[in-house]
Structure 1
């Protein structure tokens, strides 16, 4: 029994380390040590659930792992302006815990399949995601210009010229300037060309992409 416990904990640490290494390589919030800790912890909680709950209630603790992980996942999701980051890392934490629960319960093959699938999604599908972004990127563009200039009209002209679709999100005015915030999307080439044209246009004083 003792050897089986060690094997399960080591397997949980192994799968957690593999997935965590990918997150560490990409500089994400939940890196190598974090995913290993989550993996080993979830595995041990599954042990305790089986031991404490007994045959009649083996999910006594394990059923609360998913709920408890929600707080941890929320901690790696960041929102700034109209951008949200960390959702993939949060989903990875959740998935790693599921793999480790499978190991803790003794379902080695299912846990291995799930871990390999998670790694495949994080690595192989990144290439596909980059291709999709190259074809159609989504960006938030903030533009500042003087109230006396026709910046809004000029923006629409440039968007049309470079085939970039746009949606005005916010508009702020003060004594001297107007700040427009646009949600734009188009090919990477189109957005890069648009940004270069905006930088050269004397109407716009400040750009944030």
Structure 2
């Protein structure tokens, strides 16, 4: 949930003045939220860590541009969403070139099986395999549907908070969630009932 357990606006004001200790404190208080959101997009711990680093570089770099028109948490989520989507776009470009080489063993020519190495910290251990299937399906959603779904279902934001992060109306969020749910139902078919609440 978007609760300020610590005074993030005060920390951000100190960061704007160049305080490294305030930046460290801000990072410590918010890094897990950023990491779990990024992990929802990329489903890979190393990639999520890379995105998290990019987000906080951007926080430090652009702290001075924060005008207070949204909450600090909303501003942070916006950066995290944008960095995650940018990462996926870059990854897609790289995958086009690496696709065939990653599919086959270069020495034998046999098709390789890529094991699922997925662990989401917000999901119980016994549900990780189901979650991996669900997150693969979420990964195929259009960007806006994916973002609305991850912010509400994984991060636990309500529709008003999600609308603030995405800079759209609450009605648009509801529509995106409805379309995301319909798309996931189509993808997951019979599995959907068990995967709906991982």
- TM-score (normalised: structure 1): 0.26
Higher helix share: 2
Higher strand share: 1
Question: Per chain length, whose mean CA-contact separation is higher, i.e. which structure has more relative contact order (CA < 8 Å, sep 6+)?
Answer: 2
